[in-house]
Structure 1
Amino acid sequence: MSYVEHVEQFHGLPAFTFPPYANPADLPDADAVAWRLHCGPYTTDEGSGSYWKRFTESVELEKVRALIFGSPWYDGDAGRSPDELLGLRSRFAGLEALFLGDLEDEEAMISTIGLGGLTELLEAFPGLRELAMRGGEGLEFPVTGHEGLRVLRIESGGLPREAAAQIAAASLPSLEHLELWLGDDWYGGGTRAEDLAPLLACTGKPALRHLGLQNSPVQDELAAALASAPVVGGLTSLSLSMGTLGDEGAEALLSGQPLSHLRELDLSHHYLSQDMMLRIWTELEPQGVRVNLTGRQEEDADDGWDEESGRYIAVSE
């Protein structure tokens, strides 16, 4: 399956691509959709400047709740917050959600989508409730954080280790949902459990209810760290999906602190043995924990990123 596709829904709203040369009378209400801004790659396509100008003149920006930025704002190494958005920050008074880098595989490899620094963007929109990003190259997250952000999701084939540590240390008192695709060392990743120490200790994120530490080649190490991490006690759902989780990591989870308070445990795309899968189901499902163990992978020393284990993550390049 493909994990990297254009979003169809965002912030509880259907995604709607602002069309070229649209008649304003045919457009949906400004607050009824998540507006996706995307220009075609060909010289015959409308230019980004003209496209943005039409959008700002055709849509009541004050009522826009969610924006999705695709190409050309985030293509390859662009790596910046859209200056166009920052320039009209006063008009986007009702903006609650942003998705940066909504590109599919044929448009740009996820490991090449640059995001850059987010300090100015977060400061410009104190009312932001949800921030999703695809990519990670050059990402910098302000350690001072954001007071109102409730959902933070980063899809990456290689989330910079420094950025992951900044997110772990950031003050996000309203954050309820955190999802990080950590990615592979070869594509700019490399995050280890020690980098996430403040997050695991539940420092700065008291409202957190869902935690996803996903798409990692050190999934066993992360599972072992979570087995005794204070953050787990406040969660209702936990995801260690898309990575290289094996029996060692699963054993650590089951032998650690109780998980019976969780509603969901997502371990999909894993390298667990049949015996371990049965044990997880037997121990957790009767306690009311919905466990996702789909996508079992077979180890292959000739095909995995890790030559010793023969395991690979779901999304890298």
Structure 2
Amino acid sequence: MTISRHLEHFHGLPVHDFGEPGEGRELPDAAAVAWRLAVEEWDAEESWPQLFARFAATVDLPRVRALIVGTWGESFENGPGPVREALLAERERLSGLRALFLGDITFEECEISWIVQEDATALLTAFPALEEFGVRGGTSLEFPAVTHPALRRLTIETGGVDAAVVRGVAASELPALEHLDLWLGSSWYGADTTVEDLGPFLDGSRWPRLTHLALRNSEIQDDIAAALATAPVVARLHTLDLSMGTLGDAGATALLAGQPLTHLTRLDLHHHYLTEEVQERLRTALTPAGVEVDLGEPETADEDGDRYVAVAE
């Protein structure tokens, strides 16, 4: 699996690409769409800050609710520092901004594990009213512990994330957080998170409003599933997402043998390595209770018995 399409909706809004100079298209209302700003990877006619300056001069900036940052140039060599500085320079005018996604980049533009990032919390701190924040790319990504009273949704998509990032998220004060989505990735691309690092997510003490927990795209998916079998946080979730990883029969059996899951609205296990027998056990145990169980994209281990996450390079 690769990321082959840009975001089409974000923060409940359709995505609109802010176009090339002189296109002459009528623009939508500033608050009606999630605006996507991107420049070409090579030989761009303008830099990302120049594109944003044109955007700020054209659109009613205080009414912009959602902003998506696509390619900012040679994203495999340079981090989004100029993007950050451009946004910070206009933060007072961006008073209505509630959602920001940094790195809406497809594999054709730059592979996920090649996208160079930086300290993602600088933008969170600068925009205390943000309710949704997402970042794609794990190279040089940092997430020191942060306090943010308004953030409701946090997404970190990587092909391999440093455990320090996971620990930083776990130590953050996010009292409004309802939706957490972490792509942990492959050790080939820097993933070194352990179940112990995930402890603060599992014990239920960190974020009292959390109802959607995704710990996915992981090589240790069986271990995560086994830990969740007795994790206090599960009792208050409506969605549990362990998809895109290497989940096998051992992890799924541990889930079935643990605490009840019939209160869930959705259990997402797509891209898995489960036998038909265990898949049927999951359906039998949960579907009659009204749980939507996603068992799509079954995978088979290679001839050496190796399993692979859905998104790595």
In the superposition, the TM-score normalised over structure 2's length comes to 0.95
Q: Which amino acid aligns with 1:16?
A: H
Could you say which residue in structure 2 is the equivalent of 1:316? 312
Could you say which residue in structure 2 is the equivalent of 1:211? 213
Shift of 1:95: 0.3
Could you say which residue in structure 2 is the equivalent of 1:75? 75
Q: Which amino acid aligns with 2:37?
A: L
Gaps of 5+ in 1: 303-308
Cα–Cα, structure 1 residues 142 and 297, in superposed 2: closer, same or farther, change >3 Å? same
Aligned pairs for 1:96-245 within 5 A: 96-245=98-247
- Further displaced range: 88-97 or 133-142: 133-142
Give a deviation string over 1:207-234, Cα, whole Å, max 9, x none: 0000001100110000001001111111
Alpha-carbon distance in structure 2 between the residues aligned to 1:6 and 1:74 = 17
CA contact (8 A) 2:42 2:73 kept: no
Gaps of 5+ in 2: none
Moved over 6 A (4+): none
Task: Describe the SS at the equivalent of 1:26.
Answer: coil
Cα–Cα, structure 1 residues 218 and 73, in superposed 2: closer, same or farther, change >3 Å? same
Q: Which amino acid aligns with 2:312?
A: S
Shift of 1:78: 2.5
Could you say which residue in structure 1 is the equivalent of 2:250? 248
Cα–Cα, structure 1 residues 116 and 277, in superposed 2: closer, same or farther, change >3 Å? same
Cα–Cα, structure 1 residues 269 and 8, in superposed 2: closer, same or farther, change >3 Å? same
CA contact (8 A) 1:74 1:100 kept: no
Give a deviation string over 1:141-196, Cα, whole Å, max 9, x none: 23133111000111110111110111122111101111111001110112111101
In the superposition, the TM-score normalised over structure 1's length comes to 0.94
Shift of 1:44: 6.2
CA contact (8 A) 1:211 1:235 kept: yes
Q: Which amino acid aligns with 2:48?
A: S
Task: Describe the SS at the equivalent of 1:133.
Answer: strand
Alpha-carbon distance in structure 2 between the residues aligned to 1:41 and 1:250 = 42
Q: Which amino acid aligns with 1:111?
A: S
Superposition RMSD in Å = 1.7
Could you say which residue in structure 2 is the equivalent of 1:35? 35
- Given the alignment, which residue of 266, 269, 291 partners 1:267? 269
Q: Which amino acid aligns with 1:149?
A: L
- Further displaced range: 25-34 or 7-16: 25-34
Shift of 1:203: 2.5
CA contact (8 A) 1:67 1:97 kept: yes
CA contact (8 A) 1:74 1:114 kept: no
CA contact (8 A) 1:208 1:235 kept: yes
Q: Which amino acid aligns with 1:313?
A: V
